[in-house]
Amino acid sequence: MDRQQYLFEANRQLQNSKYYKLIADSLQPQTQVTLRNIIQTLYTKKYITVKQRDFLFGPDIPRPRYFYLLPKIHKEPPTWTVPFEVPPGRPIISDCNSATYHISQYIDHFLGPLSVQHPSYIKDTYHFLDILRPMVVPKSSFLFTIDVNSLYTNIDTHLGLRTVNNTFIKYPNPKRPDKELLQLIELCLNNNDFLFNNQYYLQITGTAMGQRFAPSYANLYMSRWEQEALTKCPIKPTLYLRYLDDIFGIWSHSLTQFTEFFNILNNHHPSIKLKHTIDAHEINFLDTTVFFQVTNSTQYTLQTKVYFKHTDTHSLLHKTSYHPRHTFKGLIKSQIIRFHRICSNPLDFHSATTTLFKSLRTRGYSKRFLRSIKSSTLASLAPTRSQTTPLPAQAPESDPPDSSLSSHPPCHTPQLVPFVSTFSHKITGLHHIIKQNFTNSKAHHPAFNNLQIISAYRKHKSLKSLLVTSLYSEHKNTPQPQLTHHFKSRKIIHNIRTGSSYPILASLPLATRNVVYIITCTLCNKHYIGETQHSIQTRLNQHLYNIRAGRLTTHLVSHFTIHPLTHLIISGLEHNDRWTCGQRKRAERIWIQRLGTMAPGGLNED
């Protein structure tokens, strides 16, 4: 999208005072204090361990939430915000590393299992097919779908919290902190502030896509909504299923009665508005097209095939992309399996694969490559097919016959050991050598017999990952101050109490990352040892912020609350680009022991 078009659509949404309001500054510092008090209460009541508490505390200096849009290009161009030019945007608030990021995961841990308890629940397409295919319906039936307009932003917060509370009462769990969870959910919903174009906004209605618990919360809200709305309906559908805000059903009555049914649903709550589609032959739902198949003069069975949106360009990975060879095969195989499971009719299956292959031919895939993958995939799927219905997937594969069990001894599944590296053709050769030598070594080391090395590749950074960010700003970020007056490069560190000295083997500037560092008070010569995957400068900024804000009660913060900050000096001790988090923390512990920096002799916590 053109930058100004994107900004136009974002401002159009953010200026809607029903959902958002402009605020002077972020609410996260105040939110974080309240959150940590609730988390501490959870720890005191023994709902969480100390490790879980520290995880839920999140970063000391949370990252702002960023607002961005995903253009809805699948909508009809005449209905766009600016017809044929600016599509409507789906609002997303990036919650990564915010004050509530880890809390959202904790909330979802409890809401997730409860959100699937309602009778209309659909897990995914395959669950939908399992429900649909055995059904037989009267020949006068209709297929219908109902869609909720902008569900997430239209959820009434008070009703949503009441729904969660009622669900907790309905499904009691002594290990679940109901009171604190409701406080955390309310805090996440009411304090959902974010940044866009250097301005802070607060969402005042609903929840936001981007928060981990949002789908479960919306699912619970909709389950209550539909339960109350359907109770009002004198005539109900033969089948009623829902995937979040998408509803599928079968109507075996007249169209006039359906209109009355739909109006009852649409008028049940003022913030939940619906639109519907109904058809006597076929209808699109999720990634399927559902249609009727005549079985006799009075009944229909339900059949399905793959549904492609008109905007679907099948832009799978280009054949010249820099990826392992099996990646290309895996992508195509997964699509063939999906088509095979969705399509009831062999002709529909072959039509779907033809459409996909035609597009892939323009992306560098050869006909021979595509045909061979299709043949091998269908051969592997053949045992799952029924003799009478050749294509659709039936029940899970049955156990092997008794004769095969008696002729083969039971085998133990090997434990997989991944060898992880960034992909390159040279590294591929190294993987082969390591796996070959490991296999040869099994003969001399029986302990390795149940182990198997597998290759696992990280992907390289793409042009998109280098250029695209969720942060929108018309102004370049001002460079952070270097804070050189707090930094000192050292060659030797002394332990005054023991008289020992330890050399620093490399020059570690402020930009050094993945590092163990030392903070010294030059007034009393007490030390603090820390570690960070970020740069020394980033960690220094975080420490200075915590000390000036006085929000934490650590020895370090308390010490420099009394001693002036001008006496704080930071230096790098040791770094390694390849350190994992655990390796970095081990190095930190070694330095703490060397220099004896545990309180009260130093500033490290017990």
Model confidence at 411, pLDDT cuts 50, 70, 90, reads low
CA distances from 144 to 99, 132, 147, 527 (A): 42, 14, 10, 69
CA–CA gap between residue 312 and residue 73 (Å, rounded) = 10
Model confidence at 59, pLDDT cuts 50, 70, 90, reads confident
For 440, residues 6+ apart whose C-beta sits below 8 A from its C-beta are: none
Q: What is the mean pLDDT of residues 218-240?
A: 94
Q: What is the pLDDT of residue 483?
A: 67
**Phi and psi for 257 in degrees, rounded to 5?**
-65, -35
Model confidence at 46, pLDDT cuts 50, 70, 90, reads very high
Q: Encode pLDDT of 241-263 as tens digits.
A: 999 999 999 999 999 999 999 99
Q: Please, what is the average pLDDT of the chain?
A: 88
Integer Rg of the chain from CA = 30
Q: Encode pLDDT of 323-336 as tens digits.
A: 888 889 999 999 99
Identify whether residues 429 and 502 lie together within a single domain.
no
Identify whether residues 514 and 435 lie together within a single domain.
no
Does residue 529 sit within a domain?
Answer: yes
Q: What is the CATH number of the domain that holds 576?
A: 3.40.1440.10
Does residue 56 sit within a domain?
Answer: yes
Model confidence at 407, pLDDT cuts 50, 70, 90, reads very low
Tokens coding 11: 């401002």
Identify whether residues 88 and 204 lie together within a single domain.
yes
- Least confident residue range of 331-345, 436-450, 521-535: 436-450
Total number of residues shown for the chain = 606
Identify whether residues 421 and 531 lie together within a single domain.
no
Tokens coding 524: 């009393």
Q: What is the pLDDT of residue 395?
A: 36
Q: What is the mean pLDDT of residues 470-474?
A: 79
Identify whether residues 490 and 347 lie together within a single domain.
no
Query: Residue 39: pLDDT above 90?
Result: yes
Identify whether residues 518 and 587 lie together within a single domain.
yes
Does residue 140 sit within a domain?
Answer: no
Q: What is the mean pLDDT of residues 509-515?
A: 91
Identify whether residues 432 and 537 lie together within a single domain.
no
Does residue 501 sit within a domain?
Answer: yes
Q: Encode pLDDT of 105-145 as tens digits.
A: 999 999 999 999 999 999 999 999 999 988 999 988 999 99
Q: What is the pLDDT of residue 338?
A: 95
Instruction: Specify which residues 421 forms β-bridges with.
Output: 457
Tokens coding 234: 């004198």
For 145, residues 6+ apart whose C-beta sits below 8 A from its C-beta are: 246, 247, 248, 249, 276, 277, 278, 283, 284, 285
Q: Encode pLDDT of 540-565 as tens digits.
A: 988 998 888 877 789 999 899 888 88
Model confidence at 519, pLDDT cuts 50, 70, 90, reads very high
CA–CA gap between residue 478 and residue 545 (Å, rounded) = 18
Q: Encode pLDDT of 130-189 as tens digits.
A: 999 889 999 889 999 999 998 998 999 999 999 999 999 999 999 999 999 999 999 999
- Least confident residue range of 198-202, 203-207, 405-409: 405-409
CA–CA gap between residue 430 and residue 31 (Å, rounded) = 50
Q: Domain total for the chain?
A: 3
**90 burial via Cβ count (<10 Å: 0-12, 13-18, 19+):** middle
Identify whether residues 54 and 167 lie together within a single domain.
yes
Model confidence at 449, pLDDT cuts 50, 70, 90, reads confident
CB 304 within 8 A of CB 289: yes
Beta strands in 424-511 (DSSP E): 451-458, 492-495, 500-503
Query: Residue 479: pLDDT above 60?
Result: no
Query: Residue 77: pLDDT above 70?
Result: yes
Q: What is the pLDDT of residue 386?
A: 43
Model confidence at 476, pLDDT cuts 50, 70, 90, reads low
Does residue 267 sit within a domain?
Answer: no
Which domain does 79 fall in, by range?
3-118+159-216
Identify whether residues 426 and 503 lie together within a single domain.
no
Identify whether residues 436 and 509 lie together within a single domain.
no
Query: Residue 422: pLDDT above 90?
Result: no
Model confidence at 56, pLDDT cuts 50, 70, 90, reads very high
More confident residue, 475 or 296: 296
Q: What is the pLDDT of residue 188?
A: 94
Query: Residue 401: pLDDT above 60?
Result: no
Query: Residue 410: pLDDT above 80?
Result: no
CB 231 within 8 A of CB 221: no
Last residue of a domain, one of 167, 196, 216: 216
Q: Encode pLDDT of 343-393 as tens digits.
A: 999 999 999 999 999 999 999 999 999 999 999 999 998 765 444 344 443
CA–CA gap between residue 163 and residue 221 (Å, rounded) = 6
Does residue 510 sit within a domain?
Answer: yes
CB 288 within 8 A of CB 128: yes
DSSP H helical segments within 115-209, as ranges? 125-132, 157-170, 178-190
Model confidence at 469, pLDDT cuts 50, 70, 90, reads confident
Query: Residue 400: pLDDT above 60?
Result: no
Q: What share of the chain is helix, strand, coil (3-state, %, to 5)?
A: 40, 20, 40
Identify whether residues 69 and 184 lie together within a single domain.
yes
